Amino acid sequence: MERAALPPLICPDCLTLLERTDRAELHCEKCDHVYVKQDGVDQLLGSKSEINLSELMIQDEVSDLYETVRYTVETSKKYHHRGLVDIINFAPPQGDVLEIGCGSGTFLALLCDGEDTRTLSAIDLSPGMLKYANARLTAVDPPLPWRISRADAERLPFEDSSFDYVVARGLLHHLPNPRIGAQEIARVLRPGGTAVIVDPNRNIISTLPRFLARGTSHFDSDHKNFSLREIKSIIDGLLRVESLKFWGYLAYPLLGFPDVLRLKWLPLKRMYRLLVGFDDAVSKVPFVKRLGWGIILKVTHPNGEEVIVES
């Protein structure tokens, strides 16, 4: 069987197709710009990107904490994996798959393991996160074509209608311009394709803790917290909501953040099933379920038609 080809890369500045040089660099003939490869990752940041440097610095710094604490503590690792599986079950990946904001790559192994996944592409802005993501996927060595690149979520280095499935997990609230991020998701998603958007849910319970966390070592002062109405307004006219679910209640802060909350005095191993069971039960209660810390949206193009985004 012929091996599938990864969607081609384009210059993020002029949108011209890039060509791979003999030195494994990418060259834009129109701009005459060369995009280098660093630590096995193509560096596809152009000159037109608006980068939040303080947010980028925080993501680089917390990447080590994620790897040495968050994803090594047994209860946290188990809880986060459960959440990733929940996304897969909610909206299974298919065809050419893209993860925007892949972080340290914890979701990539699950995405490339999907029976219907043909190719896997991923981008992130943080070199610290990409270091772990590239190492993680290299270690897995999936049998399908895959590629991780450093790129701006507001200027994706891909042609229009390149992907059947796009996942943006915890992305939009980090962007300087979330609406532009949503436009880019719509632009690269093929008609009839599926996108999954996971972002914070602002409500009476989550507002104060997130407000207090802003400007700390884990959260930039520009860190956003969306209500459901705000998320819908961000994607309005670009993507149509097929289904949504709220998630994360008591188990979310207690199990998910050992790098932020030092709760060694709590017997979390013994409490794990109780906490997860409580969250599952609350997620099924009308109105009360809206108090979740996060929202998952499964979206498509309106009427399955290609969305034309103004440049």
pLDDT grade for 304, boundaries at 50, 70 and 90: low
Q: Is pLDDT of 216 > 60?
A: no
Instruction: Give the structural domain span for 160.
Output: 52-304
CATH number at residue 210: 3.40.50.150
37-80 residue pLDDT tens? 998 899 999 998 988 887 888 888 888 888 888 888 899 999 99
Residue closest to 158 by CA, chosen among 98, 237, 108:
98
- Asked, for residue 38, whether it belongs to a domain, the answer is no
pLDDT for 265 equals 76
- Asked, for residue 18, whether it belongs to a domain, the answer is no
- Asked, for residue 42, whether it belongs to a domain, the answer is no
Q: Is pLDDT of 309 > 70?
A: no
Q: What is this structure's pTM?
A: 0.90
pLDDT grade for 302, boundaries at 50, 70 and 90: confident
- Asked, for residue 114, whether it belongs to a domain, the answer is yes
- Asked, for residue 45, whether it belongs to a domain, the answer is no
Domain count, the chain: 1
pLDDT for 308 equals 46
Among the ranges given (176-180, 240-244, 261-265), the one the predictor scored with the smallest mean pLDDT: 261-265
Q: Is pLDDT of 221 > 60?
A: no
- Asked, for residue 20, whether it belongs to a domain, the answer is no
116-141 residue pLDDT tens? 999 999 999 999 999 999 999 999 98
13-24 residue pLDDT tens? 999 999 998 888
